[in-house]
Amino acid sequence: MNELTRSLSQSELSQIGTEIEKLFAFQDRPLSVEKKAMLVQEIADIGFPFDAIIKGIRSLFLEELKAVKLSAIYEAISYEVRIDGSKRFEEKQKELQELKERLYQKRYGV
């Protein structure tokens, strides 16, 4: 199972719940137990990596949101996934370039 489709552990779900509570507290918004459970489940169901979920939620802590909406949380998490994917692509490109250089040096003794 790849990183994007693995299910989250109970510990990870609990941590997401904690981060959701903090988000609502920083936004001075009430959060019922039912709403928290629903948000955690919806966020878990999108299938994004745990680290991106946490970073995305935390990125909203200092934002001045008119309302804490699921769409805003999704957008923040999606942004973190894109950033992470971009970093991985850049790392792979760098590794490939280094490999090409080593092969060129080996082949031509330069």
Cα(57)–Cα(61) distance, integer angstroms: 7
Residue 16 pLDDT more than 90?
Answer: yes
Would you say 31 and 20 are in contact if contact means Cβ atoms under 8 Å apart?
yes
Q: Where are the domains of the chain?
A: 10-82
Cα(108)–Cα(49) distance, integer angstroms: 43
Question: Pick the residue with more confidence: 84 or 15?
Answer: 15
Average pLDDT, the chain: 85
Cα(19)–Cα(7) distance, integer angstroms: 18
What are 60-107's pLDDT values in tens digits? 998 888 888 888 899 999 888 888 777 766 777 777 777 778 777 877
Cα(36)–Cα(57) distance, integer angstroms: 13
* pLDDT given at position 2: 43
